[in-house]
Every structure is written in structure tokens, then in C-alpha cells.
Amino acid sequence: MSVDWSISFDEKIMPKDMQNAATPEEYIKYHANSVRDYKAFWANIASELEWFKKWDKTLDDSNPPFYKWFAGGELNASYLCLDRHIKTGRKNKVAIIWEGEPMENGKPKEVRKITYNEMYREVNRVAHLLKNRYQIKKGDVIGLYMPMIPELPIFMLAAARLGATFCVVFSGFSSDAIAERMNDAEAKILVTADGAWRGGKVLDLKSIVDQALQKTKTISKVVVLNRTNNKINMTDGRDELFDQVMKDIPVNTYVEPEKVKSESPLYVLYTSGTTGKPKGQVHDVGGYMTLLHATMKWVFDIHDHDVYWCMADIGWVTGHSYIVFGPLMEGATEVMYEGLPVFPEQDRWASIIERYGVSIFYTSPTAVRGWIKGGDQWVKIHDVKTVRLLHSVGEPLNPEAFRWLFKHVGREMVPFGSTWWMTETGGIMISHVPGLMMVPMKPGTNGLPIPGIDADVVDEDGNSQKQNERGFLVIKNPWPGMPLTIFKDPDRFKEVYFSKFKNVFYAGDYAVRDPDGYFWVLGRADEIIKVAGHRLGTYELESALMKHNSVAESAVVGVPDDIKGEVPVAFVILKQGAQPNDTLKNELKDTVRKTVGPVASLKDVIFVSKLPKTRSAKIMRRVVKAVAIGKPPGDTTTLDDEASVEEVKNAYAQLSGEVGSS
Ligand code: WT7
């Protein structure tokens, strides 16, 4: 757990002019009604979408935990995001205002304003390409390793149109990570670009793909977009230029959207777990789109006149849900920004808010902490008064970050929340819902569960935890948007999420509930590290270290960081003969970066001769972590392993003695 900031359960702030202001008690009453008959509640929301065929059963719960929402119903996500708006008066409304990273004379060099009609045309053309040139059909998987350019959502929507499944790999992942995911997902083709702009430099995506393709088994074609005019090598018979293969497809091409079953897979997205390889989270169409529709309304209060900006990368679930499917389904106008929010200067993000008049802004604690460090002057030179709603996601929002953004962008009057959810949940689960009922805010809280979601904090035995006491976060009812399974591994799905507590979803987070019923998610209860909101499994980092032939064993733990929330530190036992020096340290850091990707940068490598283990030979991570932080482990944290307080103390003394003397 990385959070050790002090929080106040008592401070309550009500945003200004809220017509739907409510007390926590009023909201809890409303909420209790919504979960009492949650099936009927969600069915009501689902009926606001356009279905080709209505469902036979709201929830098929005959085989828990493999639930089918709106079973038998038929719809199409691409149809909901595009065709519907074309027919209902949003044809020429701007869907995406895209801003590229490079600047020229103090202005963005490239801005593309793409209307719903233009999106519709492009998605149809790309769907035609996928279907006819690459024979992609219902059930096939396509891989996407792309920069933040409009063609990424276009490919996602085109796949969805065909009823095919897409699998996006974040562009900060390495070739090994791509290969592992593409092999597991059995992707048929991979779409990429010559490069991606990141902080003024070109990240050479294509050569990373070339390396990955040496290890993939199922990919027969690679489609390459031109983004950076980067010089690339094309492999004959395998690689095809996007511009080339698209040029003869007419602008008025129409590909009929497949009538897709509600419970069929829309996408697979890989997440780090605590053990083993990344888990492919499979999300459905009907439940997922229903949850996004609800949360776009309740959490973001989205309206036609808004300019919405979610700062995430589409490579993560936040981008899937709240850049692509959520806002487009609602017919919103949204900003999509390609690069670093602090390039070329600290104020890039604020200049974007000003340039387009952003009214709804979805950001992250790591970003905000970075801006605080950069200084107030940068935000002050921009007019950001158009912002009427703020939210954050990815990791706990510390009160300082809340206060800063609330003051400098929120003018101490707009709703601002910290939305808790995860890749697995598909969409937001615990959050303020200013579009529905606004309860008082508290700096750093996640607030109360959204309607229809029965979340709780429980003790080791699965009983509701007392107020103000730390416990495990769980969700007690099935919800629309939950994963169908882990791709090709249903047993693991059951084991990871539904075995710690019987029949309830175990999120893997520690949380507290305060006397008003508000949730405060404190951080991971397991071996997942959140670095700048990105999720890394210690197992992945440790396996990467093992690739270096000097490493005998290692333990990676997360330590607190002022900006990134947490950063990984490795404790390494070397093989005999290897020299523990700075050169080796750097080599090891490099190995991890190359194996997992630039997202995985070890802050430090500490050489030790022994790692503390429990009797069943599990590494005592809390001891390693305590040593990394330089604070003895508490006496009461018996939740995490079977070691006694005495054993933990001894192990701590030994390891810190060794680290201290080296
Ligand atoms: C983990 C899930 C879902 C979008 C991005 C992350 C942490 C996420 C919050 C928040 C405290 C949060 C949790 C969670 N987390 N949002 N508002 N407050 N913690 O998705 O990569 O699947 O990570 O992120 O630890 O379990 P993810």
C-alpha cells in the first residue's frame, strides 16, 4: 500500500449551484432501492440503448461467476456510436477534436476536427478493409499497437462493426509484451504505425513490432499507418501500408453492422496480475455499453453542448471506455490529445482546455502532482473557466492534489471526484454522480458506489468491516460491464476474483468506509504496483529480471513516490561470481525496461544475499517493502501472509541490517 497521507472524514464541500444536492443519507436510500432489484434497475437503463433484438433474459446467472447480461439481445457497439447519431441530427457535429503533439510557432502543428459523419465513413471503409482484404469476421481477434491518433478508435469501431474482437496493446509496452499478448489472443492481424510522438521524440513502433513478430504465431499481416514519416522497413508479403490498401475504398462505402449477441466479446485487454502471465479480460457488448451509458450520464453529466476531455491513453481501459465507447455512444464532442500533457512546456494541458473550451475534464493524480511540482504560474496563464466538472482515476487521489486542481481549475466550485474502478469492472463503480444526485465532496474520497452496484468493505472472513477500519473491497452483485471471463482461462477467472470470498468479486484493493458510508480506496492489497496509475505485476518485473544471467532470485516491491504514487524497487540475489556494482544495476534496469517496456522503470536495484521467506517459501513482501521504505512493518498486518509477528521482526532486522551495511 502506498498511501500514507492523512485524510479527513469530516471535511465536506458542496459544489456551487447544484440543483440535485443530496445528503449522504438521501443518496444511500436511493442507492439501496437500486440494488434491491438490480436486475430490473439495469434492464431499465439498457432499454435506453438501441437494440436490434431485445434480450430474452436480463441476467443469465445459471453458471456463476460467468454471467450473461441481457442474454439473447442483439446490438452493435459501432452502430450505437455512429449510425444512431447520423440519423438523429448529430451528423455534422464534431465527434473528435484531435490535437497532435508537435508544436510550431507556439501552436499545435496539426489539429483534426472529425465529425460523426466523417467517423462513420472512415469506420465503414476500415470495416470493409478488414472484412474483404483480411477476411476478418465475427469471433476473429485483431491486434492494435498504435499511437493516440483517430485511426485507433476507428479500427476499434470497425472491428466492433464486424462483430470481431480487438486487442489493444499500450504503445509503451515492449516487443515481448506484444508477442505474449498477441499469441495468447491468437490475433490474426496487427495494426501499427511507423512511429508515435512522445515528448518531442519518435517512438519507433514499427521496429518494436518487427521484433515482436519474430515470436508471434498467428499474425499473418501487419497494417502500417504513417504518423511520423519515420523511416521503416517493410517485410514483403506481410506488411502493408494503410494508405495504400485504403486508397481504392470509396468514401461512401457501407458495411452493415453485424447483429452481435449481447454476451459476445467486444475486446480483450490484458492486465497485470499477481502471478503468471497477464490476464486477458474479455468484455461483452450489451452489459459494457449499458454501464458506459449510465456512467457517462451520472458521473460525467454529459450533454450535447459539452466539450469532454479524458486525458488517458486508449491503450488502457480508461481510454477504451471513456475516450472511445462512452463519449461516442453519447454523441459527445471530445478532445483527443496525442502526446505528453507537459510537452513542450508544463502548460500544454491547460492550453488544450483553453483552446477548445473543455467543460468536462477527466485526469489522474500523477498528472496533477506533476503540475503542482511544475508551479502554479503555468495554469494561471490560461483561461480554464469553461471547466464545470472534474474527475480523476487510476490511483488514490491525495487531498493535496484534490485541493490544487479544485482551486486552479475547479475555481473551488465544481464537482470533482475520484472514480474508482479497474480494467475488470469495465466502467466506473464508486464515484460521485453529479449528473444524478450530488453528495458533499471530501478531498481524496471515492464517494459512494454508483446506483446498481453493491460494493462493500469486508474483513478476512468476508463480513462487513466496521466503520473506519481497513478491509478488502468487494462487489457483491453481478453488474453490467463485468468481464465474461479471462481469455481462454475460466478457471483462473474464478480463482482470482471469486474464490477469496464466496460468490462476491474481490477487487484486490484495501479500502475504508467512513461514518457517512463513503469509500476510501487506499491501494492494492496484493502484489500489484501502480506506477503513475499504470498497473504492473511484481511477478512480471521479477520474471524480466530473471532474463539477465546474473540474477538468481529477486523480489520487486513498490515504494511511495511524490509524483507517480509508487515506483518499483528490486531486491536481487546474484548468482555466484556476478559482481554487485553500478554497471550491473544499470544493466538490470535496462533488462526490465526492454522486456516489459518503458512503463516499467526500476527506481533502484538493491543487492542482497537472502530474501525473507515464510515457511511455505513465499517471499515476505511486507518485510521487503518495509526495508525498502525504511520503516519497520507494523505488528498488526497479519492479513498478508502466515508469518508470525516475531518472524517478521527478525526477518526485517536481518534484511535491513544487510541493506544498511552494503
Ligand atoms: C486499480 C485498477 C480503471 C481505470 C484505471 C486503472 C487503482 C483506480 C482509483 C481511484 C484509488 C484507484 C485501484 C484499482 N485505482 N482508480 N480513483 N482511487 N485507487 O485500471 O489499471 O485496471 O487498475 O487502480 O488499485 O484496483 P487498472
C-alpha cell at 92: 455534422
Q: Which residue has the cell 502532482?
A: 369
Q: Which of 393, 402, 540 to mutate to test the pocket of ligand 1 (most atoms within 8 A of CB)?
A: 393
Residue 217 CA to ligand 1 centre (angstroms): 32
**Atom 7 of ligand 1, residue of closest alpha carbon:** 395
- Segments in the chain below pLDDT 70: 1-5, 635-643, 661-662
**Measured between alpha carbons, how far is 248 from 255 in angstroms, rounded to an integer?**
15
Q: Which of 316, 421, 534 to mutate to test the pocket of ligand 1 (most atoms within 8 A of CB)?
A: 421
Which amino acid is present at 484? L
For residue 1, count CB atoms less than 10 angstroms from its CB and return exposed for 0-12, middle for 13-18, buried for 19 or more: middle
Q: How many CB atoms lie within 10 A of CB 616?
A: 8
User: How high is the pLDDT of residue 274?
Assistant: 73
**Atom 3 of ligand 1, residue of closest alpha carbon:** 422
**Measured between alpha carbons, how far is 158 from 75 in angstroms, rounded to an integer?**
15
User: How high is the pLDDT of residue 1?
Assistant: 45
Residue 396 CA to ligand 1 centre (angstroms): 8
Residue 126 CA to ligand 1 centre (angstroms): 33
Backbone angles phi, psi at 57, to 5 degrees: -140, 130
Please give the model's pTM, rounded to 2 decimal places. 0.95
Residue 533 CA to ligand 1 centre (angstroms): 7
Residue 316 CA to ligand 1 centre (angstroms): 11
Q: Given the CA of residue 522, which atom of ligand 1 is nearest to it?
A: 11
Residue 581 CA to ligand 1 centre (angstroms): 36
CA-based angle 211:215:217, to the nearest 5?
130
User: How high is the pLDDT of residue 2?
Assistant: 46
Residue 530 CA to ligand 1 centre (angstroms): 8
Q: Given the CA of residue 317, which atom of ligand 1 is nearest to it?
A: 4
DSSP secondary-structure letter at 433?
Answer: B
Residue 394 CA to ligand 1 centre (angstroms): 4
Q: Which residue has the cell 526490465?
A: 592
Which bin fits 228, alpha (ψ -120 to 50), beta or left (φ > 0)? Answer: alpha
**Atom 2 of ligand 1, residue of closest alpha carbon:** 422
Q: Given the CA of residue 397, which atom of ligand 1 is nearest to it?
A: 18
User: How high is the pLDDT of residue 638?
Assistant: 45
DSSP secondary-structure letter at 425?
Answer: G
**Measured between alpha carbons, how far is 414 from 455 in angstroms, rounded to an integer?**
26
Distance from the Cα of residue 370 to its chain's centroid: 19
**Atom 18 of ligand 1, residue of closest alpha carbon:** 396
Is residue 559 within 8 Å of residue 569, measured between CB atoms? yes
Is residue 295 within 8 Å of residue 447, measured between CB atoms? no
Residue 417 CA to ligand 1 centre (angstroms): 13
**Atom 8 of ligand 1, residue of closest alpha carbon:** 394
**Atom 16 of ligand 1, residue of closest alpha carbon:** 394
**Atom 27 of ligand 1, residue of closest alpha carbon:** 422
C-alpha cell at 96: 473528435
Backbone angles phi, psi at 318, to 5 degrees: -55, -40
Q: Given the CA of residue 392, which atom of ligand 1 is nearest to it?
A: 17
Is residue 442 within 8 Å of residue 458, measured between CB atoms? no
Give residue ranges with CB within 6 A of ligand 1: 271, 317-318, 393-396, 418-423, 446, 507-509, 521, 524, 530, 535
Closest CA to 507 of 454, 443, 445, 444: 454
Residue 645 CA to ligand 1 centre (angstroms): 30
Is residue 208 within 8 Å of residue 193, measured between CB atoms? no
Q: Which of 395, 428, 441 to mutate to test the pocket of ligand 1 (most atoms within 8 A of CB)?
A: 395
Peptide bond into 344 cis (omega under 30): yes
Residue 447 CA to ligand 1 centre (angstroms): 14
**Measured between alpha carbons, how far is 103 from 190 in angstroms, rounded to an integer?**
30
CA-based angle 550:551:557, to the nearest 5?
145
Q: What is the largest CA-CA distance in the chain?
A: 73
Residue 473 CA to ligand 1 centre (angstroms): 12
Is residue 286 within 8 Å of residue 70, measured between CB atoms? yes
Q: Which residue has the cell 480554464?
A: 384
Q: Given the CA of residue 424, which atom of ligand 1 is nearest to it?
A: 22
Q: Given the CA of residue 418, which atom of ligand 1 is nearest to it?
A: 17
**Measured between alpha carbons, how far is 388 from 127 in angstroms, rounded to an integer?**
37
Residue 272 CA to ligand 1 centre (angstroms): 12
Distance from the Cα of residue 103 to its chain's centroid: 28
User: How high is the pLDDT of residue 637?
Assistant: 47
Q: Given the CA of residue 421, which atom of ligand 1 is nearest to it?
A: 3
Residue 420 CA to ligand 1 centre (angstroms): 6
Is residue 193 within 8 Å of residue 161, measured between CB atoms? no
**CA-to-CA dists, residue 466 to 11, 462, 472, 548, angstroms:** 21, 12, 12, 47
Q: Given the CA of residue 428, which atom of ligand 1 is nearest to it?
A: 3
